[in-house]
């Protein structure tokens, strides 16, 4: 993904920023006045794993409070955690349907 910079921004130093879609690494080129952005997969996978673990344990504890069979609770927790993992990656990557 490349975007053109205005003439005034081409001389300024551009720092990497943390966004909703992940850590964006900016590289400037003085000749073309362009900025290239790379998606940080390591950061996105770490965030997805953390969110999925929270989802897994909250589903597990909800099943325990509701006194549901432990096997059914584990199955539900696994399904929700895996679904949350991939949904979070899709949102982080910024896919548009």
Domain ranges of the chain: 2-39, 41-93
**Percent composition of the chain: helix, strand, coil (DSSP 3-state, to 5):** 55, 20, 25
Q: Could you report the per-residue pLDDT of 61-85, keeping only the tens digit for each?
A: 999 999 999 999 999 999 999 999 9
Burial label for 45, CB within 10 Å (0-12, 13-18, 19+), is middle
Integer-rounded Cα radius of gyration of the chain = 20
If residue 18 lies in a helix (H) or strand (E), which one and from where to where?
strand 17-19
At residue 20 the predicted structure's pLDDT band, cuts being 50, 70 and 90, is low
Q: What is the pTM of this model?
A: 0.59
Instruction: Identify the pLDDT of residue 10.
Output: 47
* 29-71 confidence digits (pLDDT tens): 555 555 566 788 899 999 999 999 999 999 999 999 999 999 9
Q: Determine the 3-state secondary structure of 82 from DSSP.
A: helix
């Amino acid at each position: 993904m490349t975007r053109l910079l205005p003439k005034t921004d081409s001389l300024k130093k551009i720092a990497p920023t943390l966004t909703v879609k992940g850590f964006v690494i900016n590289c400037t080129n003085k000749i073309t006045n362009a900025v290239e952005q790379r998606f940080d997969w390591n950061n996105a996978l770490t965030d997805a794993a953390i969110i999925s673990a929270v989802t897994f344990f909250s589903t597990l504890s909800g099943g325990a409070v509701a006194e549901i069979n432990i096997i059914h609770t584990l199955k539900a927790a696994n399904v929700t955690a895996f679904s949350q993992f991939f949904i979070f990656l899709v949102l982080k990557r910024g896919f548009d349907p």
